[in-house]
């Protein structure tokens, strides 16, 4: 049986968006982030981070740095009993300084649903029972295009939004 997923944006949802965060000192969890992920874990959701990371394309940090930062976030959440099952990151951008990352409209870059669709296929997920939490219109559009319910996080305590979403 296919499992439900909770797709979570990174910057502005799980961590404070300090402007292309990539250094350990920039990893500041949003209030309620670990509790929200743990609540999703306990409710049977596969938890998946889906994040646009144009800082790589813009030459602000390397792809290795991005992966290391994402791994640090997963570890930090795990320290509080919250499990992230997978991380998908899109380093592509139309205005990339590095040609390897230049793409006019990469299928993985939100609002395109590529990262969500890859996760659905690779983890045998059920989009109809899944949800996406993001802080941007592009997150909501990616959710819509993937057939996933979208919830807009506008700040505050993330666990409050997750509790409300799960009770609706």
Q: How many residues does the chain have?
A: 168
3-state secondary structure the chain: CCECEEEECCECCCECCCCCCCCHHHCCECCCHHHHHHHHHHCCCEEEEEEECHHHHCCCCCHHHHHHHHHHHHHHHHHCCCCCCEEEEECCECCCCCHHHECCCCCCCCCCCHHHHHHHHHHCECHHHCEEEECCHHHHHHHHHHCCEEEECCCCCHHHHHHHHHHC
**25 among annotated binding-site residues:** no
Which of 11, 108, 139, 159 does the annotation list as catalytic?
Answer: 11
Which of 9, 85, 108, 159 does the annotation list as catalytic?
Answer: 9
Residue 11 appears among annotated catalytic residues: yes
**98 among annotated binding-site residues:** no
**9 among annotated binding-site residues:** yes
Residue 9: which of 43, 39, 36 has the closest Cα?
A: 36
Residue 124 appears among annotated catalytic residues: no
**135 among annotated binding-site residues:** yes
Binding-site residue positions: 9, 11, 90, 135
Among all residues, which ones are annotated catalytic?
9, 11
Annotated binding site for Zn(2+): 90
Annotated binding site for Mg(2+): 9, 11, 135
């Amino acid at each position: 049986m296919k499992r439900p997923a909770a797709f979570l944006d990174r910057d502005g949802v799980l961590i404070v968006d300090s402007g292309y965060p990539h250094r350990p000192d920039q990893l500041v969890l949003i209030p309620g982030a670990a509790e929200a992920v743990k609540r999703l874990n306990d409710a049977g959701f596969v938890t998946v981070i889906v994040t646009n990371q144009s800082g790589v394309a813009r030459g602000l940090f390397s792809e290795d740095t991005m992966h290391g930062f994402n791994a640090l976030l997963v570890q930090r959440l795990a320290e509080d009993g919250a499990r992230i099952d997978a991380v998908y990151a899109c380093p592509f951008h139309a205005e990339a300084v590095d040609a390897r990352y230049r793409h006019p409209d990469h299928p993985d870059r939100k609002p395109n649903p590529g990262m969500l669709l890859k996760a659905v296929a690779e983890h045998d997920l059920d989009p109809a029972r899944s949800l996406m939490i993001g802080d941007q219109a592009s997150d909501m559009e990616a959710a819509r295009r993937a057939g996933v319910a979208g919830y807009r996080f506008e700040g505050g305590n993330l666990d409050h939004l997750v509790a409300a979403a799960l009770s609706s």
